[in-house]
Structure 1
């Protein structure tokens, strides 16, 4: 890998959301993840079902999904549980997709999607939500201690927080590997155990931590292979530079996860009071 290539910024999310509804990208998601639930991270339908079981959501529950992406995974939770959902994402194309899908499903009355930055003050009253989720995105948000305190603020006492952190350092990683792994945006790499310590400082009781690294390794490899099989079509849509950058990113993500040097953990916590 050339050093000049390693640090190039890659437009993974912009390219994904602009072409999200196309059959080509849906086909890639189905092949990579086993089922297309509109994901742009490492979550599968089976894994999301596991996470739903941890949250104990009812029809009356209010769920906030931060960095919700296309909104389809969020809406799937609403379909599975009947709960009310709100989603926040930075990308305008992602929120437009989320609102369009909510209309198609007839879920506009039980869903709200907002364009906004999950790293900043959230435009919700204190103690609004029964659950907050953030899947494969906390690593993009700076100042983690303040972010967790803000998430605690919008949760009701006893409310649950579930997030996945896919950038936990559990082995040696080179500067070139870090540059590629962080090429799709702002990244915060943390050592094992830091998330749990910061949660306690923010007013949470940590209830469960589960290593989901094998899921990330398999999905990164599957995503890489599914895209490689459609290289010509993707190059025409994304351009040579973006296509090559995304492939480098996925190859490095798969390698680091399979070797357990960068790990992914799912963490469930409860607001203490």
Structure 2
């Protein structure tokens, strides 16, 4: 079985390292400080699904699991929305807050918030919610969806991805490698749809977007492998090898469509 490997603390701690920036550029094409599987093109598309037609600067958006804040700040700068990023990683939040300050983006804020609990926002607070490649880290998916429903305004929309939907035969070793970076929960596609309905949402879209993770996982592995000596000095050999095995497993499972990534668009009626 695979041992746990640290992705987030070390990534956030070395975020500004030139090597890490080069890897992000090669992985995503455009570096906005992301560390999930999402490219800028996909991010813009998902944001457009929130269906904001006017008064963009008045829209209240919540980004769940915002990490070090890069994508959140990208939206704040490009679309001028009022956006709040929430996460439980202190290093990521500190990095996000510092970057927002450096960029003088007063329309972006960040808050320590555990999505597994009741979140500290009033009912009907947000026009839209985004959660990219992190739904699989929350213990109770129905609870999370009910909280999102509560804090969304009427007709508000949520877009989230689940990057670990089992769609084929997967061994226990492969599951251990895929979940080696932290807590994971693997939820059947039908259950997620059922939870969306139980929470009160209308499901508008459920779409397979595995192609993006297949591509970015391969790029990430290759970009890191070509800098193995430099990364071992930064990360240590054990962590470097652990993350390479993780990336290789992600690509292997997604390229064979045994583990898939889906995006969901739902609306509060």
TM-score class, shorter = over 0.9
| Other-structure match for 2:98 | 100
- Matched with 2:18 is 23
2:151 corresponds in structure 1 to 154
CA deviations over 1:216-253 (Å, ceiling 9, x no partner): 01100100000001101111111111111000000000
Find the aligned partners of 1:195 and 1:131 in 2 and give their Cα distance: 19
Q: What is the DSSP-based 3-state SS (H/G/I as helix, E as strand, rest coil) of the residue aligned with 2:204?
A: strand
User: What residue in structure 2 maps to residue 75 of structure 1?
Assistant: 73
CA contact under 8 A between 2:37 and 2:133: conserved in structure 1? yes
1:194 to 191, 194, 202: 191
1:257 and 2:254 aligned: yes
Structure 1: unaligned runs, 5 residues or longer: 1-5
Are 2:61 and 2:82, in contact at CA under 8 Å, matched by a contact in 1?
yes
- Whether 1:217 and 2:220 are equivalent positions in the alignment is no
Q: 1:62 aligned to 2:60?
A: yes
Which runs of 4 or more aligned residues in structure 1 lie more than 4 Å from their structure 2 counterparts after TM superposition? none
Q: TM-score scaled to structure 1, two decimals?
A: 0.95
C-alpha separation between the residues in 2 aligned to 1:119 and 1:74?
Answer: 21
CA contact (8 A) 2:113 2:120 kept: no
Cα deviation, 1:180-224, whole Å, max 9, x if unaligned, reads 001000001112222111100001001112211010011001000
Residue 228 (structure 1) aligned to one of 221, 225, 228:
225
Which residue in 2 is equivalent to 1:43? Answer: 38
Which whole-Å CA distance do the structure 2 matches of 1:172 and 1:192 have between them? 15
Q: Give the TM-score normalised by the residue count of structure 2.
A: 0.97
Q: Cα offset for 1:116?
A: 2.4
CA root-mean-square deviation? 0.9
Deviation of 1:70 after TM superposition, in Å, equals: 1.1
Aligned pair count reads 266
- Unmatched tracts of structure 2, length 5 or more: none
The answer for the alignment partner of 1:3 in structure 2 is none
> What is the SS of the residue equivalent to 2:192?
helix
How much has 1:110 moved relative to structure 2? 1.1
1:124 aligns with 2:103: no
